[in-house]
Amino acid sequence: MTRVATTIGCFPLLNPVICAAGEPVMTEAGIRAALRAGVAGVIAKSVNESAAARNQLDRADYVRLDADGTPTSGPGVSLFNRSGLTQRDTAEWLDAIAALDREARVENQFVAASIVYAGPQGAISIAAMARQTGLRVFELNVGAPHASEAAPGAIVQETDPDRLSDLVRQVRAVTQGMQLWVKLTGLSSNLPALATAAQNGGADAVCIMGSFMGLVPDLETFKPVLGTPAAYGGGWALPIVCRFLALTRQATQTSLPLIGTNGVRSGLDVVRMALCGAVATEALSIVMHEGFGGFTRIIDQLVSFLAQRNLAFSDLIGRSADALHGYGDAPLTPDRWRDFVPSDTLVGSHPH
Ligand SMILES: Cc1cc2nc3c(=O)[nH]c(=O)nc-3n(C[C@H](O)[C@H](O)[C@H](O)COP(=O)(O)O)c2cc1C
């Protein structure tokens, strides 16, 4: 067992860095490249049963934004995108993923299937197909950000805890013996309730949280960049994810494994998510900024951080979450605000 090893429930991982679903892993070659970069596993690009969701890939578009929020042809720091789903035949894609998972298993890695949810029947039948192929991990994404923008019926975002429990229960019934991870939306404030609902339905872990939606006005044309609202991701998202990880850890009293996603750009970000309760992380757009080598860099940074402090990854999990106070318990700091305003504000005003 190395310093960076971790587990999601009873599922062992070589390290806490998983390649999340997305276009870079929409081909066998991409999945193999992610595995070669050293990730613990790969969530292969998602499927769903609707033709509308498949067609969406033909209208997909992507732009990198610089630190100033301006579209750039350089590497960029944020990604603004209108993604689609794989157009591969579902049965054939699941067979391909299962074959890769068998290869990965020899190296103690994994390859998982994922569905972006469009309705219970599709989720249940695709989950059952995934199990038949011998896949070990199934990720059910109930929170894809562009549900309200996509063609009607293509993608559904589940924000109702009762409906989510029901859905997960039905998918659980056809995925016996598999790991069932539920990826929750980033566009709802009731994540702790949704995580509890997924757990009650039989999920082995939840992944927190899906991307946010944004609109980027173009300062040259005055039109919206990409012409539509789109998913917006970047390192800036990490503290928002960390808060929800910590709140969910508290709500589930550490009984539910949490996977953090959205905003991981470095090994230190993996540490940050772990401190807030994540037992593992999923990262993707780093690959669209710097290639699959980004994963190797992140894992190396994590290894160095732990080695310098003689810590194991498991020593980090939940430390910040468990030290979280309510505002009422914060120390008294009556004049602290004065340090953060211009001196003009303080003219004629006296400290306590
Ligand atoms: C271009 C793109 C495509 C994505 N496609 C999927 C998908 O098919 N299924 C899914 O569950 N998540 C999808 N995601 C979300 C990612 O899996 C990941 O959770 C998210 O990008 C946040 O992490 P990051 O900041 O490391 O990119 C996609 C993200 C991007 C940027």
Residues 256-312 have pLDDT tens digits of 999 999 999 999 999 999 999 999 999 999 999 999 999 999 999 999 999 999 999
Total structural domains within the chain: 1
Q: Is the pLDDT of residue 153 over 80?
A: no
Rounded Cα gap, residues 84 and 86, in angstroms:
7
Q: Is residue 352, in this structure, part of any structural domain at all?
A: no
pLDDT band at 147 (very low <50, low <70, confident <90, very high): low
Q: Is residue 29, in this structure, part of any structural domain at all?
A: yes
Q: Is residue 154, in this structure, part of any structural domain at all?
A: yes
Q: Is residue 1, in this structure, part of any structural domain at all?
A: no
Two tokens at 349? 């005003």
Q: Is residue 188, in this structure, part of any structural domain at all?
A: yes
Range of the structural domain that residue 250 is part of: 6-346
Q: Is residue 201, in this structure, part of any structural domain at all?
A: yes
Q: Is the pLDDT of residue 21 over 70?
A: yes
Weakest-pLDDT range from 16-30, 76-90, 123-137, 190-204: 76-90
Question: How far away, in angstroms, is 145 Cα from ligand 1 center?
Answer: 10
Weakest-pLDDT range from 79-83, 187-191, 321-325, 331-335: 187-191
**CATH code where residue 143 lies:** 3.20.20.70
Q: Is residue 351, in this structure, part of any structural domain at all?
A: no
Q: For residue 141, which atom of ligand 1 is closest to its CA? A: 11
Q: Is the pLDDT of residue 22 over 70?
A: yes
Mutational test site, ligand 1, from 80, 284, 288, max ligand atoms within 8 Å of CB: 284
| Residue whose CA lies nearest to ligand 1 atom number 22 | 262
For the chain, give the percent of residues with pLDDT over 70.
Answer: 97
Q: For residue 48, what pLDDT is reported? A: 85
Q: Which residues contact 139 (CB under 8 A, 6 or more apart)?
A: 21, 43, 46, 112, 113, 114, 115, 181, 182, 183, 207
Q: What is the C-alpha R_g of the chain? A: 21
pLDDT band at 185 (very low <50, low <70, confident <90, very high): confident
Q: Is residue 309, in this structure, part of any structural domain at all?
A: yes
